[in-house]
Amino acid sequence: MSTTRFSRALTLALAAALSLSAGCGKGGNGGHAAGHAAVGTEAPEFALPDLDGKVVKSGDLRGKVVILDFWATWCPPCRQEVPHFVALQSKYRGQGLEIVGLSLDKGGAPVVKPFVDEYNVNYMMLIANDETASSYGGITGIPTTFVIDKNGKIVKRFLGYTDPEVFEETIRPLLTAS
């Protein structure tokens, strides 16, 4: 392989890796942060349907540490995080962790249910909308994940694939806080 061809191949491979690690693009609000979901502020309220159509309110999560993940079934980094969230939910549910997936799939529950079944998802899955995404500061890429403390305050915001160890390091002190 010539040096030029090798350089092109390396450049393409690096570009692909960077785009995968950053996450999947998400249109919607033109990249403008419409809501107020900054770290240290109260998490915006929502009322969204689960996969069976039952409405879940964000207030129902008070008193728990929440990992709130905006994602979609078609997003490779999102799909990569799901098994890690399943493991974290299994490990920390008894200590007060609630993982909530907010699907941005336009097809809604009919698209998400088969995915949830295939991946044995053991955490709450809700169908989000553009209003919810906007209230969380505008979701310009997915996965976008928020860690929320027991009092409903946003502690961290992650954009793109995040290693499960990072989530674990973030939630552990929150789970033991009174």
Place of tokens 């450049």: 11
For the record, the structure tokens of 138 come out as 């505008």
Other beta carbons within 10 angstroms of residue 69's beta carbon come to 25
Which token pair is 50?
């689960």
Radius of gyration for the chain, computed over Cα atoms and rounded to the nearest angstrom: 17
**Predicted confidence (pLDDT) per residue in 89-145, tens digit:** 999 999 999 999 999 999 999 999 999 999 999 999 999 999 999 999 999 999 999
- The predicted structure's pLDDT at residue 13: 40
23-176: what fold?
Glutaredoxin (3.40.30)
Extents of the domains making up the chain: 23-176
Which of 96, 77, 55 is closest to 142 using CA atoms?
77
Q: Is 58 helix (H, G, I), strand (E, B) or coil?
A: helix
Separation CA 123–CA 74 (nearest Å): 19
